[in-house]
């Protein structure tokens, strides 16, 4: 990790301990990524995320209490800057469409987490970084009168 490179903060929500552990292990191997919190259900996410200010949340579709779609909608309403990847058991178009409609940036099948999670996380976080740089540059141009 470069000295000036920020650590990106990730929150993991899944009631399945082995999936949560897999996601954490993938993230923990990256020096610029940090799992800042975990929850087993939607209410756990919604109560803890504001104090931890994650950049991205990995949320299971099927959660006890508040399901992943509802949790995503509420999270995005409260913290619009947080990117969301929803995990699902089945790779079907209606679930992907529901994920995007809820405010998620993407949807991934749980069985592909090992292969696909890191590239998806990197893509979303790079997108955020590029937008942030453009926003900061535009702000500097406006401040400088240019």
Q: Tell me the two tokens of residue 1.
A: 């990790």
User: Who's near 6: CB < 8 A, 6+ residues apart?
Assistant: 32
List the alpha helices (DSSP H) in the chain. 17-28, 42-52, 68-78, 93-102, 113-143
pLDDT score for 28: 93
Per-domain residue ranges of the chain: 8-143
Q: Tell me the two tokens of residue 51.
A: 């104090």
- The model's pTM: 0.84
**Burial profile 40-60: b = 16 or more Cβ within 10 angstroms, e = fewer:** bbbebbbebbeeeebbbbbbb
Walk along the chain (146 residues) and give the pLDDT tens digit of each residue. 455 568 999 999 999 999 999 999 999 999 999 999 999 999 999 999 999 999 999 999 999 989 999 999 999 999 999 999 999 998 889 988 999 999 999 999 999 998 999 999 999 988 776 655 444 344 334 444 44
pLDDT score for 141: 45
pLDDT score for 146: 45
How many angstroms separate the CA atoms of 115 and 124, rounded?
16
According to CATH, the topology of domain 8-143 is Rossmann fold (3.40.50)
The answer to whether the CB of 26 falls within 8 A of the CB of 58 is no
pLDDT score for 6: 84
């Amino acid at each position: 990790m470069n000295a000036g490179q920020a650590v990106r903060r990730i929150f993991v929500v899944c009631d399945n301990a082995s999936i949560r552990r897999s996601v954490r292990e993938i993230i923990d191997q990256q020096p610029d990524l940090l799992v800042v919190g975990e929850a087993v259900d939607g209410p756990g996410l919604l109560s803890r995320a504001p104090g931890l200010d994650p950049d991205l949340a990995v949320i299971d579709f099927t959660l006890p209490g508040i399901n992943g779609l509802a949790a995503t909608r509420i999270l995005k309403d409260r913290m619009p800057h947080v990117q969301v990847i929803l995990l699902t058991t089945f790779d079907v178009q209606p679930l992907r469409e529901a994920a995007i409609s809820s405010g998620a940036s993407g949807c991934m099948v749980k069985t592909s987490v090992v292969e696909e999670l890191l590239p998806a996380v990197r893509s979303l976080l790079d997108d955020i970084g590029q937008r942030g740089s453009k926003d900061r540059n535009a702000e500097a141009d406006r401040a400088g009168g240019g």
